[in-house]
Structure 1
Amino acid sequence: MFRLDELVARLGGEVSGDASVTVRRVATLDQAGDGDLAFLANRKYLSRLQDSAASAVIVAPEVLALVKGRACIVTGDPYLYFARVAQLFNPAPVAQPGIHALASVASPVPASVEIGPGVSIEEDVEIGDEVIIGAGSHVGRGARIGRGTRLAPRVTVLDGCVVGEDCIVHSGAVIGSDGFGFAREKGGRWVKIPQVGRVVIGNQVEIGANTTIDRGALDDTVIGDGCKLDNQIQIAHNVRIGECTAIAGCVGIAGSTTIGARCMIGGQAGIIGHLSICDDVVISAGTLVSKSITRSGVYTASLPVQPHSDWVRNFAHLRHLDALVGRVRSLENQQGGPDDRNPG
């Protein structure tokens, strides 16, 4: 539990109202009760604040005048402040040192490491201090796991791959599976190309459940420091992702694509191979990226939802678009062109 003035002393901001109010957890405006700290990040939810039972609220300076009779923490970014308060109330688990009797460990590990039941660690593995390896996880030969990293149960880190410090890898993630590399014979049969690169993951990276990151064919697949990857993402061989890029669930990134730093990629976006995306690009959900992006900004290539009958009608028009363009050009030619000027 924390008093509001204690939170401000730790995290900054200012208290408006009773600084001695004590809060024990964070909650939404709708679900908060006595002893809870809620947050208002968007003015459109101001009406919900009136009915909220929260003991205190995190607000921006511009809405403070609209909040009456309630203790507040005032900060420029209420949502970011909420995230930091949530970390205080929900600290990361601390390693409980020891190797479970049902683990198979073929490499030396520091005394501060926690290794759960059913874990298998092969030879020549390097593991940093205070690492947690959850039940049923596998770490392949020659892999490296940095200090403070946490592998949830059933994570697979295959041979030679590198996971940096203070990373979180959720259940079902596979790091270092073979990339999809094949050459085709004239008769149609496929010849597998050995995938001999690694996956190299930087520090403070989070990888969601069932996300797969393929090892490089020759060079490495690289995930930069501070990247945040959601669940069920596919990252193909030789992809390189810059620092602090965030990728939402069900995104597919084809091989040898380079993505810059601080990008945000919405859910179910698809990026075809051998493209380059520069820094500070936002790709909207459901967008198919079929060519390189060289300027920062927001990019969208998907249609908004609409009634089915409207979609059928609009798509019918699209099917005849080439014919319509041809007719327009024919009319322009008959009239002397769109830029024709009357000299008289």
Structure 2
Amino acid sequence: MNRHGYRLEEIAHLVKGELFGDKDFKISNLASLEQAQNQHICFVNGDKYLAQAEASHAGVFIVTQHLMQQLKSKKNFIVVDNPYLAFATLTHIFEKKVTQKGIESTAQIHSSAIIADDAYIAHYVVIGENCVVGRNTIIQSHAVIDHHVEIGNDCFIDAHVTITGAAKLKDRVRVHANTVIGSEGFGFAPYQGKWHRIAQLGSVQIGNDVRIGSNCSIDRGALDDTILEDGVIIDNLVQIAHNVYIGQNTAIAAKCGIAGSARIGKNCILGGASGVVGHLEIADNVTLTAMSMVTKNISEAGTYSSGIGLFENSHWKKTIVRLRQLADVPLTQITKRLDHIQAQLESLESTLKLRK
């Protein structure tokens, strides 16, 4: 569904919300609270946005029951339990979708490839031998789908994406511009001062409902496959090395790097610019805050951080000097000094008690 406008009653039905106001009010699009005009619908996701909502010119607000009671100057509402989730649903309604079907004349497709009748193959796409492209899948211009790659149903492959290494993508996978899937992993054997290339013989397996951002690189395995399970979501500029395993519904933010053969559990969150050393295991339900560096296994769920938080520059310089000075003192010497201080404190406490 994608058209110029919807009645408020239609929108409420789509998000399974309760309507308050004019059921025939016409909505043309979503908008932010700051930029909305009367024909727009907005969502309010907490008390801290109430002042912005009061000042907004939006015609309709998606809110909870509690928030609606606070917005006494507004008239039209859709009440739901989770306004942000309702907003996410509506983005798909108002999204501009690719509606073309078929194969453009400039696409080059090997005769052995199997392409669904309702798929769309854009200009200058190259599809190799024995490839499979599923129903309602869209492949945008200049994408390269190398030999023996399989792409499922309802997928979206953006412009200039390369999929190689006999990778297999299941259904509803989205891969954004300039990403490479199935490229050669970084495998070399050192011998006599030289690096000897190891041919990468594995592949990449990508589950259902996976989203991969732009400019990512997902290497195929050396022997076993690199695996992304169902529901994994990956931001832009992420590197996933060979033989990595990522569990269901894990989210990886931009500029993360995951080294070879690391295993990451289900429902994990990797904050931006985090790094994971190779051959490590991370348990389910682990969150890494931004710029964390994982150098050993994480066996229990929870939130983990590393690095030093932001200081004002002069304060940071003093802190670094103190850390260096601390590093130069033997640990045994520090322990002895702490023991001595503790003994002095205990002695002082005893003296004070006697005086009382």
Superposition TM-score, scaled by structure 2 size: 0.90
Structure 1: any 5+ residue segments left out of the alignment?
A: none
What residue number does 1:313 align with? 318
Aligned residues of 2:46 and 2:67 also touching (Cα < 8 A): no
Letter matched to residue 114 of structure 1? Y
Letter matched to residue 158 of structure 2? A
Aligned residues of 1:139 and 1:159 also touching (Cα < 8 A): no
Letter matched to residue 184 of structure 1? P
The correspondence of residues 85-96 of structure 1 with structure 2, limited to 5 A, is 85-90=90-95, 92-94=97-99, 96=100
Q: CA deviation at 1:5?
A: 2.3
2:354 aligned with 1:330 = no
Letter matched to residue 102 of structure 2? G
2:200 to 195, 200, 220: 195
Q: Partners of 1:336 and 1:131 in 2: how far apart? A: 69
Q: Partners of 1:114 and 1:299 in 2: how far apart? A: 44
What residue number does 1:63 align with? 67
> Does the C-alpha gap of structure 1 residues 183 and 24 become closer, same or farther in structure 2, counting only changes over 3 Å?
same
Q: Partners of 2:142 and 2:335 in 1: how far apart? A: 66
Q: Partners of 2:267 and 2:341 in 1: how far apart? A: 51
Letter matched to residue 287 of structure 1? S
What residue number does 1:181 align with? 187
Q: Partners of 1:278 and 1:293 in 2: how far apart? A: 6
Q: Partners of 1:17 and 1:102 in 2: how far apart? A: 52
1:124 to 120, 130, 151: 130
Aligned residues of 2:147 and 2:164 also touching (Cα < 8 A): yes
Aligned residues of 1:25 and 1:86 also touching (Cα < 8 A): no
Letter matched to residue 218 of structure 1? L
What residue number does 1:26 align with? 30
2:45 to 13, 24, 41: 41
How big is each residue's C-alpha offset from its partner over 1:105-125, in whole Å with a ceiling of 9 and x where there is no partner?
102322222112211111111
SS of 2:205's equivalent?
A: strand
Letter matched to residue 130 of structure 2? D
Indicate the RMSD between aligned Cα atoms, in angstroms.
2.2
Q: Partners of 1:332 and 1:289 in 2: how far apart? A: 30
Structure 2: any 5+ residue segments left out of the alignment?
A: 351-356
What residue number does 1:236 align with? 241
What residue number does 1:269 align with? 274
Q: Count residues in correspondence.
A: 341
What residue number does 1:222 align with? 227
Q: CA deviation at 1:140?
A: 1.0
Q: Partners of 2:159 and 2:56 in 1: how far apart? A: 38
How big is each residue's C-alpha offset from its partner over 1:138-178, in whole Å with a ceiling of 9 and x where there is no partner?
11111101011111111100031111111111110100001
Q: Partners of 1:122 and 1:326 in 2: how far apart? A: 64
* Greater Cα shift, 139-148 or 9-18: 9-18
> Does the C-alpha gap of structure 1 residues 207 and 336 become closer, same or farther in structure 2, counting only changes over 3 Å?
closer
Q: Partners of 2:93 and 2:106 in 1: how far apart? A: 34
SS of 1:320's equivalent?
A: helix
SS of 2:114's equivalent?
A: coil
What residue number does 2:12 align with? 8
What residue number does 2:148 align with? 142
The correspondence of residues 94-105 of structure 1 with structure 2, limited to 5 A, is 94=99, 96-105=100-109
> Does the C-alpha gap of structure 1 residues 152 and 340 become closer, same or farther in structure 2, counting only changes over 3 Å?
same
How big is each residue's C-alpha offset from its partner over 1:238-295, in whole Å with a ceiling of 9 and x where there is no partner?
0111111111111111111111111111111111111111111111111111112122
Q: Partners of 1:200 and 1:64 in 2: how far apart? A: 46
